């Protein structure tokens, strides 16, 4: 099937560039984390509070992926974090070729941890190699606890799942135990964190994990 062949070649080309990206990151001893989630789940909020929590402990840089605008990069830059915005021009995910020039613009020698905010959705970014060392997905309480049923691909493909907005648990129906059981069924190796970017709850455990990743 010619169409399948073309798709496979595109994926192969992406994987080759992703491997080069990872080589570049490794040469600078920079660990890259690909942050995926629905629009509004809290990717930028998690990134910014992670920077604050780890200030003086880890040097963090960021790549912001959006279909358009630089509002997220502006917010992140205001906190003093080196950041590059990538606009995909409507594309629903980052790819390795987009990340490549962004890496060239970042001072990787001064970055221990690179947080890559992917385009907001739970379908396209899953399984796309960028050069990242670790993949995470954020699931936020207002989205409901059934998302792993509907988007199993992304929940299966990650190293960690972050449940965000747990400060809203008293007001919304979200069964944390049922959600955890779903993840454990789909992806038993995934770490699960419960956090609130509003109150800071859970950030010690989350940032300890990131620190361990950077320690190798
Ligand atoms: N109550 C509560 N609100 C939160 C929390 N984290 C983020 N928010 C709010 O949720 C909204 C979206 O947060 P963002 O961090 O912009 O989400 P995002 O995933 O980066 O969104 P996009 O980049 O547009 O996809 C903002 O109004 C945040 O203040 C949280 O832990 N609790
Ligand atoms: Mg954002």
pLDDT tens-digit series, residues 174-199: 999 999 999 999 999 999 999 999 99
Residues 34-53: tens digit of each pLDDT: 999 999 999 999 999 999 99
Query: Does residue 123 sit in helix, strand or coil?
Result: coil
CA contacts within 13 A on the Cβ side of 208: 6
Could you tell me the sign of the dihedral formed by the alpha carbons of 174, 38, 35, 196, in that order?
Answer: negative
Judge contact between 104 and 2, C-beta under 8 A: no
> Counting atoms of ligand 1 from 1, which one is nearest the CA of 164?
31
* Size (the chain), residues: 216
Kindly report the pTM of this predicted structure.
Answer: 0.96
Give the residues across from 114 on adjacent strands.
Answer: 32, 61
44 within ligand 1 shell (Cβ under 6 A): yes
Distance 44 CA to ligand 2 centre (A): 4
Distance 136 CA to ligand 2 centre (A): 15
Longest dimension (CA), the chain: 54
Which of 7 and 97 is assigned the larger pLDDT? 97
Distance 118 CA to ligand 2 centre (A): 8
**Rounded CA separation 134/184 (Å):** 18
> Counting atoms of ligand 1 from 1, which one is nearest the CA of 46?
15
Residue given tokens 């570049």 in the structure block: 24
**Rounded CA separation 124/66 (Å):** 13
DSSP label at 157? S
Could you tell me the sign of the dihedral formed by the alpha carbons of 174, 175, 178, 181, in that order?
Answer: positive
Residues 75-114: tens digit of each pLDDT: 999 999 999 999 999 999 999 999 999 999 999 999 999 9
Judge contact between 114 and 31, C-beta under 8 A: yes
Banded model confidence at residue 2, pLDDT cuts 50, 70, 90? low
- H or E segment at 212? helix 203-215
How confident is the model over 142-163, as a mean pLDDT? Answer: 98
Residue 201: pLDDT over 90: yes
Report the pLDDT value the prediction gives residue 1, as an integer from 0 to 100: 61
Phi/psi zone of residue 204: left (φ > 0), alpha (ψ -120 to 50 degrees), beta? Answer: alpha
Banded model confidence at residue 57, pLDDT cuts 50, 70, 90? very high
45 within ligand 1 shell (Cβ under 6 A): yes
């Amino acid at each position: 099937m010619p169409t399948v062949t073309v798709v496979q070649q595109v994926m192969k080309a992406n994987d080759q560039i992703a491997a080069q990206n990872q080589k570049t990151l490794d040469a600078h001893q920079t660990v890259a984390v690909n942050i995926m989630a629905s629009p509004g789940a809290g990717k930028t909020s998690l990134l910014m509070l992670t920077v604050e929590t780890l200030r003086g402990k880890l040097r963090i840089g960021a790549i912001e992926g959006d279909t358009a605008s630089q509002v997220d990069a502006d917010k992140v830059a205001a906190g003093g974090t080196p950041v590059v915005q990538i606009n995909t021009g409507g594309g629903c995910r980052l790819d390795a070729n987009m990340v490549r020039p962004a890496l060239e613009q970042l001072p990787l020698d001064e970055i221990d941890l690179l947080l890559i905010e992917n385009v907001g959705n739970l379908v396209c970014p899953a399984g796309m190699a960028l050069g990242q060392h670790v993949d995470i997905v954020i699931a936020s309480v207002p989205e409901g606890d059934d998302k792993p049923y509907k988007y199993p691909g992304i929940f299966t493909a990650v190293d960690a799942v972050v449940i965000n907005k747990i400060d809203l648990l008293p007001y919304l129906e979200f069964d944390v135990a049922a959600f955890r059981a779903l993840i454990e069924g789909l992806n038993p190796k995934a770490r699960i964190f419960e956090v609130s970017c509003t109150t800071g709850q859970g950030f010690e455990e989350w940032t300890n994990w990131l620190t361990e990743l950077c320690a190798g």
